[in-house]
């Protein structure tokens, strides 16, 4: 008995490993994206141990220095170490990206499930979603932030709001195609409750595309947070974020372009990495879509 299980395990294991290997070989970009993202995440978490100093400590005698052994990226107009600010700035981007992806997906999932399954709610909800989608995401976020005291929480809420309709539409369209399937009819016929049908039958079907969508939302949230902070309507200036580091360096761009470009490169690489992971997940979870895109 034991030996039979062992043989079975051995027989099963190699193909599993080779499919992973084959996948990696077929999608080298996913590996690059995933590896980059891992490095960025680890760097943000381990920021205090990466040769950084306090990113908000001011040193007026060392203002606007060029890159040197002490200050790898130079210093800003208050003499703060730019390298430390950029490394710590990644934390804000990742926190906002992950929170928005999680929040928008959960809220959108709830609204989408209900809207797709209950005809009565559907018409009203979808008109509201259409209206929200007509307002450009950045403008919606700007309007909310202009009326609130600047904080990271407000940024998260303001970036989440315009992303919700996209999730609702996705979930709803999946629910609409699945609800006509015979097994849903069967479930209803044997008296399964509506919440149970949603959780046991509709949710598992919506999950794979939803995970892919969440990745793209994460990338878009990182971009919007940076844009908002760059415009002065995002993360408060006392917390370093890539957007506000770039904004503060703008007056010195012609003489010291690296002050603007370095945080920009970090931002671009992060968004690129998240998008590459998203593309990879899409190829893995939804091969049909992968061929079309």
- Per CB under 8 A, 261 contacts another protein: yes
Contacts 24+ apart (CB under 8 A), 172-179: 172/112, 172/115, 172/116, 172/122, 172/126, 173/116, 174/112, 174/116, 174/202, 174/205, 174/206, 174/209, 175/112, 175/113, 175/115, 175/116, 175/117, 175/202, 175/206, 176/116, 178/202, 178/205, 179/116, 179/117
From 18-26, 174-182, 201-209, 225-233, give the range in contact with another protein by CB under 8 A.
225-233
CB of 281 to another protein, least distance (A): 14
Angle at 187 between CA 184 and CA 188, to 5 degrees: 90
Contact 262, 18 (CB under 8 A): no
279 is written with which tokens?
A: 């593309």
- Per CB under 8 A, 170 contacts another protein: no
By C-beta, is 178 or 274 nearer to another protein?
A: 274
- Per CB under 8 A, 293 contacts another protein: yes
Contact 235, 225 (CB under 8 A): yes
- Per CB under 8 A, 276 contacts another protein: yes
Cα first-last separation, the chain: 48
6, 39, 118, 139: which one binds another protein (CB under 8 A): 139
CB of 21 to another protein, least distance (A): 22
CB of 93 to another protein, least distance (A): 11
90, 275, 281, 283: which one binds another protein (CB under 8 A): 275
CB of 241 to another protein, least distance (A): 13
Q: Which residues form the interface with another protein (CB under 8 A)?
A: 29, 127-128, 130-140, 142-149, 154, 219, 223-224, 226-227, 230-233, 246, 253-254, 257, 260-261, 264-265, 267-268, 271-272, 275-276, 279, 292-293
């Amino acid at each position: 008995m034991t030996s039979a299980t062992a043989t079975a395990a051995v027989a099963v294991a190699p193909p599993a490993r080779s499919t992973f290997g084959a996948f990696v070989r077929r999608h080298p970009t996913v590996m690059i994206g995933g590896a980059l993202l891992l490095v960025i995440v680890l760097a943000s978490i381990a920021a205090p141990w990466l040769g950084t100093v306090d990113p908000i400590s001011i040193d007026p005698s060392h203002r606007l220095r060029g890159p040197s052994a002490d200050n790898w990226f130079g210093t800003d107009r208050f003499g703060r170490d730019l390298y430390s600010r950029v490394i710590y700035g990644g934390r804000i981007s990742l926190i906002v990206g992950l929170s928005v992806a999680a929040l928008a997906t959960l809220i959108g999932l709830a609204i989408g499930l209900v809207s797709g399954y209950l005809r009565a709610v559907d018409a009203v909800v979808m008109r509201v979603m259409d209206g929200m989608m007509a307002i450009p995401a950045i403008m919606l976020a700007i309007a909310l932030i202009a009326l609130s005291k600047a904080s990271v929480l407000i940024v998260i809420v303001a970036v989440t709001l315009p992303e919700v309709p996209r999730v609702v539409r996705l979930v709803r369209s999946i629910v609409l195609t699945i609800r006509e399937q015979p097994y849903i009819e069967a479930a209803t016929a044997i008296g399964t409750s509506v919440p149970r049908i949603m959780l046991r039958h509709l949710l598992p079907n919506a999950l794979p595309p939803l995970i892919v969508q969440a990745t793209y939302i994460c990338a878009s949230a990182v971009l919007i947070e940076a844009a908002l902070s760059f415009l002065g309507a995002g993360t408060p200036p006392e917390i370093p974020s890539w957007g506000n580091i770039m904004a503060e360096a703008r007056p010195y761009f012609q003489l010291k372009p690296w002050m603007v470009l370095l945080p920009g490169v970090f931002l671009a690489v992060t968004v690129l990495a998240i998008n590459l992971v998203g593309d990879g997940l899409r190829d893995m979870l939804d091969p049909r879509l992968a061929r079309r895109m």
